[in-house]
Chains A and B, each alone.
Chain A
Amino acid sequence: MAPFFTFMKYLIGIGNYSMYDDSVGLRLIEHIHTHHLENDSKFRAIEIGGNLLNLLTYFNEETDAILFVDAGRIEGLSPGEYLLFTPNEVDTTKELKNISTHEGDLMKVIELARTTGYKIPEIRVMGIAPLEVKNGIGLSPLLTAHLHHYARTAIDAIVQFG
């Protein structure tokens, strides 16, 4: 039976919409949709909020590549800077006792998928260093100013990737 999700490449935004700069991955996807930057013959841009276990739906034979966009505390990066990396380049330092919608970590979900036999597509992560993570709808002026550039970078990366 064919899966419902049959795009070969995905650009997936992760984050919490009501936690200010933590929402940058979601807002990047919104930006792509609002400005019609999605070239649907090549990839699909979606956001999944914090429901990280839903990522497993995209780990199947049909998917060639996924680029995740998430806010990230990454050593060496100042707020507003970003980095593209693969999961095997990093080790998560986030302390996590379990996985739920409120307690999640992209790296641990990928590891869970790997250990339970999922077909893992080629994965890259675009981590954007937040200026501020706090209660509140919106994005800091610093990240807002760079949002279009982030979106273009993510699109270029997913188009060339996989």
Chain B
Amino acid sequence: MKKDMHIHVHHVTRVEGHGNITVDVKNGKVEKCEWAVPESPRFFEAMVRGRHYSEVARITSRICGICSVGHTLASVKASEAALGIEVTAQTKKLRRLLKHAENFDSHVLHVYILVAPDLLGVKSVFPLVATHGEVVKRALRLKRLGHEWGSLIGGRTTHPTTVLPGGFSKVPTVKELQELKEKMVAAVPDLVETLNTVEALAPKVPAFSRPTEYIAVASREEYGLYDGEVSCLLPDGNRKVYPASEYRKVTNEYVVAQSTAKYAKHRLDSYAAGALARFNNNYEMLHPEAKKVAARFGLKPICTNPYMNSVAQVIEVVNDVYCSIGIIDDLLSSGIKDEALVKPTKYSKGASAVEVPRGILFHEYEYDRDGMCVAGNCIIPTNQNHANIQRDFDKLLPELLDANKSEKEIELAMEMLVRAYDPCISCSTHYVDVKFVNR
């Protein structure tokens, strides 16, 4: 029977920021199927103008409360490119360690707190305290590890203070690194249980496929997170690689009427960024323990099911821990020491690419001869994913209608798809809102 349907999800929940879904179906025909972002612009690129290079990362870190490590690293790397600064090997190792901390922390939050409720049939994490108390406790233990890990290296996890252009203002001691490694090793049983939980829930991940282009940082030195080239992988395996300085050839941003956020495209009419894009581009560079997890979940590159982004995040969580244990061992064997900040050798223009949990992030700045910023550009991964989410919707909705799914089932499937991308649409507010009951 041809049916009518109207779905309007105002502010999809369990995503970071605000996005709306609208679906109109008349007599079985799709009249509207739209992913819209109503957030207002935040003008960070204007805020950095006229600021000294030493201040810029402090400002742009505030773009995001979850990806603040990534924004800080992208910012200092772009500034260093503009200022002719080559940081030391120790700085690179510590930054990689910090980048893994952010990835771990964010993925634990997303998989356990934002995605798991969908797969367990509840609206939020709160009901799970009663029904799956041990799972929630485990999530909070792992979250705590991520916080301690990031705080040790970055001074604090949210908006790190120790990361500066040219190096670190403070480095951890040998004892602190040894203790951090002990905490990571002690977390392995929780990781094993995480995998068991995800394996039990994996059959509930929707089966859907839409090949697209997958864009991520890629490197022969590491599973691309902190540094590398921009790798653009088509579903047939064709790969095109750019230096970070040519990022505009990749993003090709454009404006659409339905969204205040810009869209992006490269060789196809949209592309995907995020854990699945990283997995597809960097599979060979995964730690062997993470590869075992991928095999256990049957995930192989090139995976074209966007819902599997959450599974790719779990693989990355394991990768983060094992790679970081290796980095700590390396730091301990080479000896960690205080180093002076590397000074600028020029004042010009520079760009960087860093992976944040939600995908590839670009920063670019230009400095005058006094080291003051005259221009900035930041392109966040969630913006790069908006067009891809829309294209997924365009394919998914007819398939769901053909399968005679109910309005509620369709709504859930579309919300889950948005959540799978782990979008971080913009920051909102957190004020307390209370009334007195016992005073």
In the docked arrangement, what's the CA distance between A2 and B148, Å? 12
Contacting residue for B148 out of A4, A17, A104, A133, CB 8 A: A4
Minimum CB distance partner of A55 in chain B? B147
Q: Which chain B positions have C-beta within 8 A of A133?
A: 429, 431
B437/A115 in contact, CB under 8 A: no
A89/B431 in contact, CB under 8 A: no
B432/A46 in contact, CB under 8 A: no
A121-133 Cβ-contact flags toward B at 8 Å (1 or 0):
0000101001001
Secondary structure dominating the interface of A:
loop
A14 interfacial contact with B, CB 8 Å = yes
A100/B434 in contact, CB under 8 A: no
B435 interfacial contact with A, CB 8 Å = yes
Q: Given A50-B427, A98-B14, A112-B129, decide whether A18 and B432 contact each other with a Cβ distance below 8 A.
A: no
Q: Which of A97-133 contact B (CB under 8 A)?
A: 97-108, 112, 115-118, 125, 127, 130, 133
Q: How close is A1's CB to chain B, nearest CB, in angstroms?
A: 6
A70/B430 in contact, CB under 8 A: yes
A90/B437 in contact, CB under 8 A: yes
Q: Given A56-B144, A97-B124, A100-B113, decide whether A16 and B432 contact each other with a Cβ distance below 8 A.
A: no
Chain B CB within 10 Å — which of A2, A17, A130 has the most? A17
In the docked arrangement, what's the CA distance between A15 and B158, Å? 12
A101/B65 in contact, CB under 8 A: yes
Q: Which chain B positions have C-beta within 8 A of A92?
A: 432-434
B109 interfacial contact with A, CB 8 Å = yes
Chain B CB within 10 Å — which of A53, A90, A91, A127 has the most? A53
Q: Given A4-B151, A102-B427, A116-B129, decide whether A53 and B434 contact each other with a Cβ distance below 8 A.
A: no
A94 interfacial contact with B, CB 8 Å = yes
A70/B113 in contact, CB under 8 A: no
B433/A94 in contact, CB under 8 A: yes
Q: A71-79, A142-150, A152-160: which lies at the B interface?
A: A71-79
A135 interfacial contact with B, CB 8 Å = yes
A50/B113 in contact, CB under 8 A: no
Contacting residue for B109 out of A48, A93, A100, CB 8 A: A100
B157 interfacial contact with A, CB 8 Å = yes
Q: Which chain A positions have C-beta within 8 A of B144?
A: 56-57
Q: How close is B420's CB to chain A, nearest CB, in angstroms?
A: 15
Minimum CB distance partner of A14 in chain B? B430
A91/B427 in contact, CB under 8 A: no
A137/B47 in contact, CB under 8 A: yes
Q: How many A-B residue pairs have CB under 8 A?
A: 182
Interface residues on B, range: 35 or more
B14/A4 in contact, CB under 8 A: no
Q: Which of A1-24 contact B (CB under 8 A)?
A: 1-5, 14-19, 22
Minimum CB distance partner of B133 in chain A? A116
Q: Which chain A positions have C-beta within 8 A of B16?
A: 100-102
B156 interfacial contact with A, CB 8 Å = yes
B41-70 Cβ-contact flags toward A at 8 Å (1 or 0):
010000100000000000000100110100
Minimum CB distance partner of B117 in chain A? A98
B431/A98 in contact, CB under 8 A: no
In the docked arrangement, what's the CA distance between A3 and B424, Å? 30
B215 interfacial contact with A, CB 8 Å = no
A135/B431 in contact, CB under 8 A: no
Interface residues on A, range: 35 or more
B159 interfacial contact with A, CB 8 Å = yes
Q: Given A15-B431, A93-B435, A127-B432, decide whether A51 and B157 contact each other with a Cβ distance below 8 A.
A: yes
In the docked arrangement, what's the CA distance between A46 and B433, Å? 22
B204 interfacial contact with A, CB 8 Å = no
Q: Which chain A positions have C-beta within 8 A of B140?
A: 53, 56, 112, 116, 118
Q: Given A89-B438, A100-B113, A116-B137, decide whether A22 and B65 contact each other with a Cβ distance below 8 A.
A: no
A49 interfacial contact with B, CB 8 Å = yes
Q: How close is B64's CB to chain A, nearest CB, in angstroms?
A: 8
Minimum CB distance partner of A104 in chain B? B430
In the docked arrangement, what's the CA distance between A88 and B438, Å? 7
In the docked arrangement, what's the CA distance between A105 and B68, Å? 20
Q: Which chain A positions have C-beta within 8 A of B182?
A: 1
Q: Which chain A positions have C-beta within 8 A of B430?
A: 14-16, 22, 50, 52, 70, 104-106
In the docked arrangement, what's the CA distance between A68 and B300, Å? 46
In the docked arrangement, what's the CA distance between A101 and B114, Å? 11
Chain B residues at the A interface, C-beta cutoff of 8 Å: 13-17, 40, 42, 47, 62, 65-66, 68, 109, 113-114, 117, 123-126, 129, 133, 136-137, 140, 143-144, 147-148, 151-152, 156-159, 176, 179, 182-183, 186, 424, 427-439
- A15-B431, A101-B109 known; 4 other A-B pairs, CB under 8 Å? A2-B179, A16-B430, A51-B65, A100-B113
What are 14 A-B interface contacts by the 8 Å CB criterion? A51-B158, A57-B151, A71-B431, A72-B433, A74-B434, A85-B436, A98-B14, A98-B124, A103-B14, A103-B428, A104-B430, A107-B434, A108-B126, A133-B429
Closest 9 CB pairs of A and B: A94-B433, A98-B124, A90-B434, A72-B432, A71-B431, A49-B158, A102-B16, A49-B65, A97-B13
